Amino acid sequence: MPLKPQGEQVVDFKAASIADAHHFAHEAMATVFELYIVEEDESYARGGAQAAFAEVDRLEMEMSRFIENSDIARLNSALPGEVVEVGMEVFDCLGRAVEIFEQTGGAFDISVGALYECWLNEDKTVRRPSADEVASARELTGMNHLKLDTESFGVEVLTEGLQLDLGGIGKGFAAEKVAGILREWSLNQALVLAGASSVLSVSVPNGMSGWPIRLSNPSKPSEVLARFELTKGALSGSGRQKGQHIIDPREAEAGPVEGRLAAWSMAPDAVAADALSTAFMLLDPQEIDDYCLANPQTAAIILPHAVSGESQRPEVLRFGQWHQIDTQNDKLKSTTKP
């Protein structure tokens, strides 16, 4: 999934401010998972972190499309008519992906890879595909090509060649599983970071009002766009690097565009937050506003394309409950409801 930044910080947690939280990190899913846990017994906290990271590794083996016998790889090479039995977790995750696909009118789409492959060269420069190429890529895009059998854990690919990629939702899914394990270990005062793009609060440590979070401009990390405290639920960010293109699967013919610089989403769970930050890169402001109204616990901030010649301060649009949040940032020029 080209939208999820790997290296740069889109969401940044200010660790220094939680002096007595233990920090654990683990490389998985092409990123680094980090945990901040407030707990007296360091070695107990480490034990919980170890159990949580083992679960992330196990999920990666099922979810990564690069691992030839993962559930997703098996789906990606399945033929129509063949039912692929996936694990319970992958089944759940696919279900959520389909649900968010529908809620966002197809903007979040785990099959969008076909369009990227059609429109971009390997070095990510834009190519000019033939009308046929575009048509066949379109035929491989959309959740209508996937059939989840709700009576089982069987999944069927209805069109040969469908390529699924959980890159835009899997890390959020794993973060939720991590939170579940930390709860089992009674390590509730914890924060989960899935790479630089998602954070999930298990619960806020005693004596703190929330986890201090910073959102910064992905193309200029020193520029902090918002600061606030995460008290519950999850927050995710998506960003576009300079020169990078994005494709709106709803408007495949239009091809790659430079589009928005970044988008952040807040949602009750990390699965939704992760997927929505991708969708919010694409939905227009009215659509985002509608989404946040229909789903009262979600919020969005978008950083539209910078217009050259304008002032240094980027214009930021906020939606949902982010209207109420005091971002304590004098540099932030926020627009009220569009």
Question: Which residues here bind another protein, judged by CB under 8 A?
Answer: 26, 43-44, 46-48, 50-51, 67-69, 71, 73-74, 77, 79, 82-83, 85-88, 122, 151-154, 184-186
In the complex, the smallest distance separating the C-beta of residue 85 from another protein, rounded to whole angstroms, is 4
Q: If we measure between CA atoms, which residue out of 256, 332, 274, 228 comes closest to residue 104?
A: 274
Q: Which residues pair with 11 in a beta bridge?
A: 215
In the complex, the smallest distance separating the C-beta of residue 14 from another protein, rounded to whole angstroms, is 26
Which CB, 121 or 324, lies closer to another protein?
A: 121
Which CB, 155 or 175, lies closer to another protein?
A: 155
Which CB, 79 or 135, lies closer to another protein?
A: 79
Q: How far is CA 126 from CA 100, 135, 139, 279, in A?
A: 28, 17, 20, 21
Which CB, 67 or 257, lies closer to another protein?
A: 67
| Spatial separation of the C-alpha atoms in residues 48 and 140, rounded to whole Å | 41
Per the CB < 8 A criterion, the answer to whether 115 and 141 are in contact is yes
Per the CB < 8 A criterion, the answer to whether 247 and 126 are in contact is no
In the complex, the smallest distance separating the C-beta of residue 42 from another protein, rounded to whole angstroms, is 12
In the complex, the smallest distance separating the C-beta of residue 25 from another protein, rounded to whole angstroms, is 10
| Spatial separation of the C-alpha atoms in residues 235 and 263, rounded to whole Å | 11
Tally of residues, the chain: 338
Which CB, 111 or 298, lies closer to another protein?
A: 111
Which CB, 44 or 148, lies closer to another protein?
A: 44
Sign of the CA dihedral 53, 54, 58, 60?
positive
In the complex, the smallest distance separating the C-beta of residue 119 from another protein, rounded to whole angstroms, is 14
In the complex, the smallest distance separating the C-beta of residue 67 from another protein, rounded to whole angstroms, is 5
What totals of helices (H) and strands (E) does the chain contain, helices first?
A: 8, 15
Which CB, 83 or 224, lies closer to another protein?
A: 83
In the complex, the smallest distance separating the C-beta of residue 264 from another protein, rounded to whole angstroms, is 31
HSE value, Cβ hemisphere, 13 Å, CA-based, for 256: 23
| Spatial separation of the C-alpha atoms in residues 246 and 162, rounded to whole Å | 20
Which CB, 187 or 246, lies closer to another protein?
A: 187
**16 Cβ contact list (under 8 Å, min separation 6):** none
What order of strands is seen across the sheet that includes strand 220-230? 11-13, 211-217, 220-230
In the complex, the smallest distance separating the C-beta of residue 289 from another protein, rounded to whole angstroms, is 39
| Spatial separation of the C-alpha atoms in residues 110 and 91, rounded to whole Å | 14
